Each structure stands twice: as structure tokens, then as C-alpha cells.
């Protein structure tokens, strides 16, 4: 049998997809890039916000529309976990449903692959699809109760892998030829009772030429020890992905984020002492966000000159606390604020990148003519355009000749 797969959403979803591909491979199923050649059509969905839900449903319907009579359509992921009772009657073309707790124990003969208890984690067996880098999930679920977020509904409570299991999985990835391991979770910094640095120190002691990068650091769990570990440890990339969501104390309180603007500024002041890359994400148009709140956010971004930034318009999600907030921000205002934030960041990024012109950077080659430095996480940040083709997975030093808004050039 042959399978055609589509993955939607974040790196955590991709790891789930890689788990499922491994499970299918154990059943002697091969993988193809053309849906017309496949016996199985597989879609792993995202349902974090309305935009992601629409994309997931559109993708399923598009594939279902072209589905042949002898093909089986499997749909997995967050859309299934969040809307178990609604999807089946709406899209009867789906043959197999898999929720996020069942990705490593699926049966194609069973219509509903559901598990009511939160999935527990050990070493994950999967088919890595992202060479020369790979994501390594250190935990799943979340115990924070941010007022806008659906993750606890979808992924359940926080639970984590042991350090030994993570090290075993890490070594398997390195032994298979992976050059950059990206640690992910809903909240990486709370790992091991806010002692992620212990894990990083263990990984940095492993022999080899590789990078370790950490994504999704929850602000209030970032300790001085963690900062110093990321900055000074061998093979750990000095890159801080810190989703702040906002900086106005009023909005942070409404979001149920357990930190203040003062805390954020003190944290970013500490980070500014080192040569590090900082990425953050923000939500604009949150209920009760006034012009002064947005200006406060804009001023913060301009003052701290964050290297990489993502911005989202607020999305009202059912069964979240913020869905009950009465003072909504008009759609056109949300769009305008996001556009202004991104255009401001675009100009700041252009100025930030100029500092690398004429400097030598160690890079990892992602494709024959593109690479990344410590500044850029795979898939979400910029890249470095290479003059000449190089081998994928190679580490090399290059001199930067010019920069653009988001990218650098050899």
C-alpha cells in the first residue's frame, strides 16, 4: 500500500505526523508525493485558531473531493481532538479519525482511534522528514490557562519526558545524521521544574558537531541560569524564542499571563548584555486593547529591536475565557494594527541585519544554496543565500556581503 500525507500546523504537529508515518511504515506502507498514486490519503490538522481550522477543513474537503472509491482518507490531529463530535457528520468521506493521544497506536481497521487519557511520552519513534534538522519534543500539554488559548483543551495537561529518554532520542537523531536538534513543547522553559538548563548542560556534553536550539520559552520560567546555559554552553545556539503576546499590563492581566511589563523589560535588559538572537510573537486586537495599549507594544518593539517577530490578530475561540469578554476590537482595526506592527518590524529587521555585513558566521546548509546561522530557526525565520552550492547538512563559515529586510547574503 502507498500513502500520501499532508501536515498542517506547528512543529509539534509535525512530530505527530512523523510518529504516524512510522506507525504506517510498520504496516509495510510506502510513501508517495502524488495523491493519485496513493491508497491512503492522510491529513494531520491544526485547530489552534479559526484561521487554522479553516485551512484544515479546506484541505480535507479538497482531498475528499478528489478521493477515489478505493482510497482511504485518514484525518488526525488537533481538529479531531477539539471537534470529535462535529467533524464526522460534516465530512462523511473521512474513513479513519485519530486524535492527538493516539498517534503511536493506530489501527486502519478502526474508524475512531481515540484515547480519553492524556498520552504519556517516552522515546518517540518516527520518520524524520526535515533533514538536516529535526524537532525533539520534550513535553506536551500545558498547565497555563491563558485566556485566549485552546491548547489545554486539545493537548491536555502538562507532562514531560525524562531526561534519559530525551538523551536517548537525541542520540538516535544525531547518529542518523541530523545536524540541528530543535527542542519543542508548549512550554519548554518549565521543563524539569523550571530547570531546563540541566537538560541542556547534559546535551552539550555529548561529543559531535551539532546544534541544539530551543523554541517556546515561557517568559516567567526563564532563569538567570537558563540564560547563561544557552549563551555559554557548547553546541547550544544563543537563540531565545520567547512568545510575549503583549507588554501592556492591562492586556497581560486579561490574557492571564503571569508576568508584568516590568518583568519583561528586566528580562530583555539581561539578554541585551549578550550576543544573542531574540524572537517573539504578539497578539494584536485583543479584547479591551485600546490605542494606548497598542502604542505601548509598538514602542517596546522599537526600543528593544527584536531580531525576529511574529504577529497574529486576536482570534475568538469557543470555550476560552477571552471569548466571554464583551469589549471586542473591530476587524479592520485588528488588521491595521497587525500590518503596522509587521511593517515596523520589517524596517527594524533591515537595520538589525546590517550589523552582520562584513562579518563571518557559522552556518548550517539547509539546501544547496540556502543556509541559516544562529539567528534563524528553521521554517519560521530568515535565511542566508549562498554564492555557490554546498552540501546539505554541512557546517561552514561564510562572510556576509549584504543584507535585506529578513535575509543575509554570502
CATH of the domain at 372: 2.40.50.140
Q: How far apart are CA 247 and CA 306, in angstroms?
A: 13
Helix axis angle for 331-353 and 291-304, nearest 10°, is: 10
Q: Are residues 327 and 369 in the same domain?
A: no
Residue where a domain terminates, one of 50, 80, 113? 113
Residue 325 clears pLDDT 90, i.e. is over it: yes
Residues in the chain: 410
* Angle at 244 (CA atoms; ends 241, 249), nearest 5 degrees: 160
Q: Are residues 232 and 309 in the same domain?
A: yes
Q: Is 387 exposed, middle or buried (0-12, 13-18, 19+ CB in 10 A)?
A: exposed
The count of domains in the chain is: 3
| Residue 327 belongs to some domain of the structure | yes
| Residue 121 belongs to some domain of the structure | no
Q: Are residues 273 and 348 in the same domain?
A: yes
Residue-wise pLDDT for 337-387, tens only, equals: 999 999 999 999 999 999 999 999 999 999 999 999 999 999 999 999 999
> Residue range 278-288: average pLDDT?
98
CATH code of the domain containing 45: 3.40.50.12160
Q: Are 326 and 343 spatial neighbours (Cβ–Cβ below 8 Å)?
A: no
- Lowest mean per-residue pLDDT among 48-57, 98-107, 121-130, 309-318: 98-107
Q: Are residues 289 and 362 in the same domain?
A: no
> Residue range 60-84: average pLDDT?
94
Q: Are 169 and 216 spatial neighbours (Cβ–Cβ below 8 Å)?
A: no
> Residue range 304-323: average pLDDT?
96
Residue where a domain terminates, one of 353, 368, 389? 353
Q: Are residues 260 and 401 in the same domain?
A: no
| Residue 299 belongs to some domain of the structure | yes
Residue where a domain terminates, one of 332, 353, 374? 353
CATH code of the domain containing 148: 3.80.30.20
List, as residue ranges, the binding site. Answer: 10, 46, 78, 142, 146, 149
Q: How far apart are CA 404 and CA 353, in angstroms?
A: 7
Q: Are residues 98 and 156 in the same domain?
A: no
Residue 117 clears pLDDT 90, i.e. is over it: no
Q: How far apart are CA 287 and CA 163, in angstroms?
A: 40
List, as residue ranges, the binding site for [4Fe-4S] cluster. Answer: 10, 46, 78, 142, 146, 149
Q: Are residues 107 and 206 in the same domain?
A: no
Q: Are residues 242 and 373 in the same domain?
A: no
Residue 105 clears pLDDT 90, i.e. is over it: no
Residue-wise pLDDT for 136-189, tens only, equals: 999 999 999 999 999 999 999 999 999 999 999 999 999 999 999 999 999 999
Residue 71 clears pLDDT 90, i.e. is over it: yes
> Residue range 12-31: average pLDDT?
95
> Residue range 250-273: average pLDDT?
98
| Residue 124 belongs to some domain of the structure | no
Q: Are residues 187 and 75 in the same domain?
A: no
| Residue 273 belongs to some domain of the structure | yes
Residue-wise pLDDT for 184-230, tens only, equals: 999 999 999 999 999 999 999 999 999 999 999 999 999 999 999 99
Residue/partner pairs of 115-123 with CB below 8 Å, 24 or more apart: 118/155, 118/156, 118/157, 118/159, 119/156, 120/159, 121/159, 121/160, 121/161, 121/165, 122/161, 122/162, 122/165, 123/161, 123/165, 123/168, 123/169, 123/172
| Residue 93 belongs to some domain of the structure | yes
| Residue 83 belongs to some domain of the structure | yes
Mean pLDDT of the chain: 95
Q: Are residues 222 and 337 in the same domain?
A: yes
Q: Are residues 107 and 169 in the same domain?
A: no
CA 229, 242, 303, 355 dihedral sign is positive
- Containing structural domain, residue 50: 2-113
Residue-wise pLDDT for 285-305, tens only, equals: 999 999 999 999 999 999 999
Q: Are residues 259 and 155 in the same domain?
A: yes
Amino acid at each position: 500500500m502507498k500513502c500520501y500525507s499532508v501536515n498542517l500546523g506547528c512543529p509539534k504537529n509535525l512530530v505527530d505526523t512523523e510518529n504516524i508515518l512510522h506507525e504506517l511504515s510498520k504496516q509495510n506502507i510506502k510513501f508517495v508525493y502524488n495523491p493519485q498514486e496513493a491508497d491512503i490519503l492522510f491529513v494531520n490538522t491544526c485547530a489552534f485558531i479559526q484561521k487554522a481550522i479553516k485551512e484544515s477543513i479546506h484541505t480535507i474537503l479538497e482531498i475528499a473531493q478528489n478521493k477515489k472509491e478505493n482510497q482511504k482518507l485518514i484525518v488526525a490531529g488537533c481538529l479531531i481532538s477539539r471537534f470529535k463530535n462535529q467533524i464526522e457528520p460534516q465530512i462523511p468521506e473521512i474513513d479513519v479519525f485519530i486524535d492527538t493521544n493516539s498517534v503511536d497506536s493506530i489501527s486502519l481497521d478502526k474508524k475512531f482511534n481515540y484515547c480519553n487519557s492524556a498520552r504519556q511520552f517516552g522515546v518517540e519513534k518516527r520518520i524524520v522528514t526535515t533533514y538536516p534538522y529535526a524537532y525533539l519534543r520534550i513535553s506536551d500539554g500545558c498547565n497555563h490557562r491563558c485566556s485566549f488559548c485552546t491548547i489545554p483543551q486539545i493537548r491536555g495537561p502538562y507532562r514531560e519526558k525524562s531526561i534519559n529518554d530525551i538523551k536517548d532520542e537525541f542520540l538516535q537523531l544525531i547518529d542518523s545524521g541530523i545536524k540541528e536538534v530543535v527542542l519543542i513543547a508548549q512550554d519548554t522553559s518549565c521543563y524539569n521544574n523550571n530547570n531546563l538548563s540541566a537538560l541542556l548542560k547534559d546535551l552539550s556534553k555529548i561529543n559531535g558537531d551539532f546544534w541544539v536550539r530551543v523554541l517556546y520559552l515561557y517568559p516567567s520560567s526563564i532563569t538567570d541560569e537558563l540564560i547563561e546555559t544557552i549563551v555559554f554552553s557548547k553546541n547550544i545556539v544563543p537563540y531565545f524564542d520567547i512568545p510575549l503576546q503583549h507588554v501592556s499590563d492591562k492586556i497581560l492581566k486579561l490574557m492571564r499571563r503571569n508576568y508584568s511589563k516590568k518583568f519583561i523589560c528586566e528580562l530583555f535588559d539581561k539578554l541585551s548584555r549578550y550576543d544573542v538572537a531574540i524572537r517573539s510573537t504578539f497578539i494584536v486586537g485583543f479584547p479591551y486593547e485600546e490605542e494606548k495599549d497598542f502604542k505601548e507594544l509598538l514602542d517596546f518593539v522599537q526600543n528593544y529591536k527584536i531580531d525576529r517577530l511574529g504577529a497574529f490578530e486576536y482570534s475568538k475561540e469557543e470555550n476560552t475565557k477571552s471569548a466571554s469578554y464583551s469589549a471586542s476590537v473591530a476587524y479592520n482595526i485588528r488588521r491595521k494594527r497587525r500590518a503596522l506592527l509587521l511593517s515596523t518590524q520589517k524596517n527594524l529587521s533591515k537595520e538589525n541585519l546590517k550589523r552582520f555585513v562584513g562579518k563571518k558566521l557559522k552556518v548550517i546548509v539547509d539546501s544547496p544554496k540556502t543556509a541559516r546561522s544562529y539567528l534563524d530557526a528553521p521554517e519560521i525565520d530568515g535565511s542566508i543565500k549562498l554564492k555557490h552550492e554546498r552540501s546539505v547538512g554541512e557546517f561552514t563559515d561564510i562572510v556576509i556581503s549584504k543584507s535585506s529586510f529578513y535575509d543575509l547574503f554570502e
